[in-house]
Chain A
Amino acid sequence: MRSLRIGPFGITTHRRTFVVGLILLGVLLALLIFALVVGKANIGFLDSMRAAIGISVGSPGDFIVGQVRAPRALTTILVGGMLGVSGAILQSLTRNPLASPDFIGISAGAGTGAVLTMWLTSGTSLWVTAAGAAVGGLTAAFLMLVLSWRRGIVPLRLILTGIGIGFVAQAATQYTLTRMDVHEAGSALAWLVGSTTGSTWTHVKVAAAVLAVLLPVILWHARALRTMEMGDDTAKALGIHVNRSRAILAVCSVLLAAAATAVTGPIGFIALVAPALAVRITRGPGVTLIPAALLGAVLLLVADQASQLMPATLQFPVGIFTAVVGAPYLLWLVWRSSRGGQA
């Protein structure tokens, strides 16, 4: 058996998946240290580490590392992980690599919810904005289900409906922007680009709280998710509560994407690319949630660092960066599916 037993509970996992997970974790740690230490201000390695864990090193390290770099890097990691897991669940449930929350209107719906909330509450609390994003994301997902339901769900119809809902949601967001006063609209617009700039410890807290609640629920249903990849009949025959598990997992996926959107604004392509890449690297059978999360975090952190290291005139938000890198992958997917491969 190419599997491994770990610890007293004997959690079985695919051996290669485990090794890949460890490597990704190592890469992520290295990237985190890089993100804390490297920047325009030279704080020094030891001072950066100290400041990051809350030991005062005086000005300017306390502020630059403790209040800027550390929350930004952690927010990036958490959001990347959330997007990776969210996409992995959707792609597994629909058995389609095109299904990801940014592509099928869920992130757009969350964006509308968040912008509406910012407008109505004058953008005071990130927690409230996140709740608004969750409502928006769930509404988009619900509409998608209702509109694509014809005695059951066909994944392709669901995805196309989702793309349509995404456009409607974006229109609604644009309209809301025109109703806001100039200052609010300005900050909402900056948020809508998808950026980790200006992330605070509140952003870290929101992302970590959502992840801490949802991840155990998701891992609890991970086996159901894997089993459902063999078809509903097989899964039911193996004793899986197919409809219940699917509903719980879908809601978790939507909430993760919505919370990620609330924290950084819509960031594209991570949820699309990370899970597919994770499956490719682990070569495991079917969905791999933890590697997808780690890879999502690695990819977003790389993208964020790369966009920061650009010369000032070329710097752009990470959301644009992921789009520039992710779009070719999407084109490749479409190109491959039009040549008779799996879409």
Chain B
Amino acid sequence: MSRLETRKAVIGYGDQPIVRGVDVHVPDGRITAIVGPNGCGKSTLLRALVRLLTPMEGSVVLDGEDIHRIPTKNVAQMIGLLPQAPIAPAGITVKELVARGRTPHQKLLRPWSDSDETAVLSALHSTNLTPLQEAVVDELSGGQRQRAWIAMALAQDTPLMLLDEPTTYLDISHQYEVLDLLHRLNERQSRTIVMVVHDLDQAARYAHHVIAMRDGEVAAAGAPEDVFTEKIVSEVFDIDARVFPDPVTGTPIVVPSGGPGHTQ
């Protein structure tokens, strides 16, 4: 089942199409990874899925209805987003930032309710930020800051969470910290997660469903084992690569076969 999908969606900026007529399904309760070379349209697709972009043709459909026909506040109660470059207001504390995730649930004259407080505390807890809740976001490490933003999206309390490159700019331990967190959220709270990632091995390890894009089209979609084959990886990324089972998890691991020291 998928609540969120695209139908022949052509998406772009101005009159320049970047994504050319794709049909994408986001399986409910699973982690979906969107991969592909730079400029293939993966972030563009993600932005359309959370109605930041309007398809030039075709549509994005949420629960069977065109997402642009649903009131934006209702969409915000169903889909949360971690954008690529969010801006933390100067001097904001972790808890204040996370509390802003409640925006779509608040009303004008009765803004802060007990369910808001509960959602914020639970988001802080899930991201292990409870001890840091009074810390100023600007003064956190990169990994902590990313967790704070994820906590904000969590407090939004949406069944679907979309993340645009949640691991970029993080060192390797923080990358896995974030991915483990997403995995936990998916397992324990059965949230549907869609993320754009660059690292194929991470995609294979953490995602149930992979969408591989190239030149604005879906080159392959399915389980990691079905998408990360030597043939598809070479087609999508223009590299010769071997695929082995990950010694830790058994998921596919992509090893380029070029580079220094290699012998044909």
Using a CB–CB cutoff of 8 Å, the interface residues on chain A facing chain B are 1-3, 5, 9-12, 14, 95, 151, 220, 223, 226-227, 229-231, 233-234, 236-241, 279, 283-286, 342
**Interfacial chain B residues near A230, Cβ < 8 Å:** 86-89, 100
Of chain A, the residue at the smallest CB distance from B85 is A231
Contact A286 B108 (CB under 8 A): no
A-B contacts, 11 listed (Cβ < 8 Å): A11-B111, A14-B96, A223-B103, A227-B103, A230-B88, A230-B89, A230-B100, A234-B83, A238-B101, A239-B104, A240-B103
Complex-state Cα separation, A283 to B93, whole angstroms: 11
Using a CB–CB cutoff of 8 Å, the interface residues on chain B facing chain A are 14, 47, 50-52, 72-77, 79-81, 83-93, 95-97, 99-101, 103-104, 106, 108-113, 117, 134, 153, 156
Contact A1 B99 (CB under 8 A): yes
**Interfacial chain A residues near B93, Cβ < 8 Å:** 2, 285
Complex-state Cα separation, A149 to B142, whole angstroms: 34
Closest beta carbon of chain A to B88's beta carbon, Å = 7
Contact A238 B109 (CB under 8 A): no
Of chain A, the residue at the smallest CB distance from B92 is A285
Q: Which of A9, A231, A284 contacts B91 (CB 8 A)?
A: A284
Q: Which of A14, A95, A239, A284 contacts B77 (CB 8 A)?
A: A239
**Interfacial chain B residues near A95, Cβ < 8 Å:** 87
Contact A151 B112 (CB under 8 A): no
Complex-state Cα separation, A239 to B81, whole angstroms: 11
Contact A12 B86 (CB under 8 A): no
- Given A11-B111, A239-B73: A286 touches B90 (CB 8 Å cut-off): yes
Of chain A, the residue at the smallest CB distance from B77 is A239
Complex-state Cα separation, A10 to B87, whole angstroms: 28
**Interfacial chain A residues near B76, Cβ < 8 Å:** 237-239
**Interfacial chain A residues near B91, Cβ < 8 Å:** 279, 283-285
**Interfacial chain B residues near A10, Cβ < 8 Å:** 110-113
Contact B85 A3 (CB under 8 A): no
Contact B156 A233 (CB under 8 A): no
Contact A285 B52 (CB under 8 A): no
Contact A285 B96 (CB under 8 A): yes
Q: Which of A220, A233, A285 contacts B89 (CB 8 A)?
A: A285
Closest beta carbon of chain A to B119's beta carbon, Å = 13
Contact A233 B83 (CB under 8 A): yes
Q: Which of A2, A234, A238 contacts B87 (CB 8 A)?
A: A234
Contact B103 A11 (CB under 8 A): no
The 6 closest A-B pairs by CB, nearest first: A239-B76, A285-B92, A237-B81, A239-B104, A286-B89, A233-B83
**Interfacial chain B residues near A236, Cβ < 8 Å:** 50-52, 72
Complex-state Cα separation, A239 to B87, whole angstroms: 17
Contact A231 B86 (CB under 8 A): yes
Q: Which of A3, A238, A240, A241 contacts B112 (CB 8 A)?
A: A3
Complex-state Cα separation, A283 to B136, whole angstroms: 11
Contact A229 B75 (CB under 8 A): no
**Interfacial chain B residues near A223, Cβ < 8 Å:** 103, 106, 111
- Given A223-B103, A237-B81, A238-B100: A5 touches B90 (CB 8 Å cut-off): no
Q: Which of B14, B103, B134 contacts A239 (CB 8 A)?
A: B103
**Interfacial chain B residues near A239, Cβ < 8 Å:** 72-77, 103-104
Complex-state Cα separation, A229 to B91, whole angstroms: 12
Complex-state Cα separation, A285 to B98, whole angstroms: 12
Of chain B, the residue at the smallest CB distance from A1 is B95
- Given A230-B88, A234-B86: A220 touches B72 (CB 8 Å cut-off): no
Complex-state Cα separation, A239 to B51, whole angstroms: 10
Complex-state Cα separation, A1 to B90, whole angstroms: 18
Q: Which of A12, A237, A284, A285 contacts B50 (CB 8 A)?
A: A237
- Given A286-B89, A286-B92: A238 touches B103 (CB 8 Å cut-off): yes
Interface centre among A5, A226, A239 (most CB of B within 10 A): A239
**Interfacial chain A residues near B97, Cβ < 8 Å:** 285
Closest beta carbon of chain A to B7's beta carbon, Å = 22
Contact B73 A237 (CB under 8 A): no
**Interfacial chain B residues near A342, Cβ < 8 Å:** 90
Complex-state Cα separation, A12 to B103, whole angstroms: 13
Contact A231 B89 (CB under 8 A): no
Complex-state Cα separation, A229 to B51, whole angstroms: 19
Closest beta carbon of chain B to A18's beta carbon, Å = 14
Complex-state Cα separation, A238 to B89, whole angstroms: 16
Of chain A, the residue at the smallest CB distance from B76 is A239
Contact B14 A5 (CB under 8 A): no
**Interfacial chain B residues near A229, Cβ < 8 Å:** 87, 89
- Given A5-B112, A10-B110, A10-B112: A233 touches B103 (CB 8 Å cut-off): no
Complex-state Cα separation, A342 to B106, whole angstroms: 32
Closest beta carbon of chain A to B134's beta carbon, Å = 8
**Interfacial chain B residues near A3, Cβ < 8 Å:** 112
Complex-state Cα separation, A233 to B86, whole angstroms: 8
Closest beta carbon of chain B to A1's beta carbon, Å = 6
**Interfacial chain B residues near A14, Cβ < 8 Å:** 96
Complex-state Cα separation, A219 to B134, whole angstroms: 27
Contact B83 A237 (CB under 8 A): yes
